[in-house]
Structure 1
Amino acid sequence: MKQRRILLIAVLLLTIAALGIALWRSYRPPPTPGAAPVISDLTPSQIDHIRIRYGSNLLEIARSNTGWRLSAPVQAPVDTAHLKAILSLLGQPAQQSYAPRAIEQTKTGLADHPLVVRFGQIGPIRIGGPGPSRGSRYVATPHALLLADLPAFGGLQWGWTHWISRALVPPQRQLQKLVLPHFTLVRDDRGRWQAQPAGQRSAAAVATTAQTWLRAQALAITPADQSRQRVARITLGFAEGTPRHFDIIERYPNLILRDPALGVDYHLAGNRIGPLLDIQHPGL
């Protein structure tokens, strides 16, 4: 009887010990912040090529004498907000640093389709979801998991058309001629805009139309809807280089202009139809 009691106590002790070992192995203490490194110690002057992957979207941005441009999947001016967000990674110090697997990827937003950035031949930087503080995001480098203040990433979408500048006239190009459906505007040697046919619109309205084009930004850019055909064409002539063509896909209730060279549609509000196409400006 005594031996059975001793055996039972031994079994209980072994069971308790086994449970204790299992609990000890399964316990993970909260991540302890270490020294906070920078996301990338490169500077903008050290890079001239950036590769970006988001899901099935593969993009490349290259720098030339005229600045940064989208070089793949299309050649186009790059959106300023997206470029600013990517360049903000350079030299950006981390708020906290963790071991690479200290936090589950489902919590950091790195599990499914993170934004992956490569500066030149440097290892990938993976941008995850929002962190605990406003404007912060989780970032995975080849050696660490970081939490960094990256407010420039807020509110941006990452499909390839979102990387194209929404400006109808590239800021680095000098507009010289506008061929609209019913009017042609030409900039003379003194910088004044003239319209043909003459006499149908005031000089102020003609000049305002040119300025409207220079400032115009699309509300959105989407892949071209090939089921819809153009109803008219617009041609922009510049002081240097080839002209840019826009096909008018829709002019009511909204304005949709297609760049056939890029294969994208620029969506503008309906109140831009008169100022951009018809030289119509209330009060002028």
Structure 2
Amino acid sequence: MKVSKVTVGAGALLLLAALATVLLQADAYVTEGPSPQYITSFPDEPDIDGILITVGIAVGRWFAGALPYPGLSAIINAIINAWEPKPEDDYWSHVHTQVEELCGTFINEHNIQQVEIYKNDLMSLLKQYERSQVDPDGSYPDKNTIADALSTSIITNRYLIEAAELPVSMGLHFMDISSVHIMVLKDAAESYTSEAGVSRWWVDLANELDHYSTYGRWLQGETIRWRDTNIECYFDEADQSCLDFEWTGIDCYDEYTIRDHVSNYEEDCDQVHPDSPEDGSCHRFCDLYQMEVNRGYCWLAEP
């Protein structure tokens, strides 16, 4: 019996194809909006539920002017409200569910827990930034100081995401933190730019966009490679002892088997042995499954 293994072509789980799109085009993850039964924010803030709208999506839409909330305070308060631990509508559990759907059991639980702990510190800095002023009266640090502290904190701690094992499972957390970082840098750059001069924050913004874009492209390639190696198709050709007697009119059967090690899905397809491989009824079995996987994750990079 002749057995060969065919690895299914790379899928379109472009988790970080969304980075430049979310941060620059700002509406990569288009959804219909949260259901009426699921409200996590106050009426005057965007709703960030961790299912339909993540922090990365909300910040992206804010950049694009696609949210009816013009003030920075509204988006910051919505992020803090979503991230604050609460017994109901738990942002972390919903994001974790999405990560499991993408990665199966291949999740870096330890680093995810560390990132969620770190986000408590990030919430504190965001609260300070929301209260800061460009020209304060001296009773509170100025926006420049808090922006520097927040940016330094993110750069210091992003190794939790970017240097982690199983980086694909850290993608949504990467989107959250990177989008917050870019949001603050952009606001600081605009706040300190005037007719008298252009803020140096624009240089920081350009540098960090370059960093996130570079890492995002790497993670996109890593995601494709990783997903590809976890979906396999095995081809089991009809036994030669049967093929030797095909001239008598008997049917000999080939078998294709798909094994998806992420979803633990397995499926077989049997076909009458064809004269040429492309004529077989199961010839596109693996490709069609891959297309179905791609459609299942199309929300990751839906324009």
- Greater relative contact order, per chain length (Cα 8 Å cut-off, separation 6+): 2
Q: Looking at secondary structure, tell me which structure has more helix per residue.
A: 2
For the criterion TM > 0.5, the same-fold answer is: no
Q: Looking at secondary structure, tell me which structure has more strand per residue.
A: 1
If the length of structure 1 is used for normalisation, what is the TM-score? Answer: 0.23
Larger Rg: 1
If the length of structure 2 is used for normalisation, what is the TM-score? Answer: 0.21
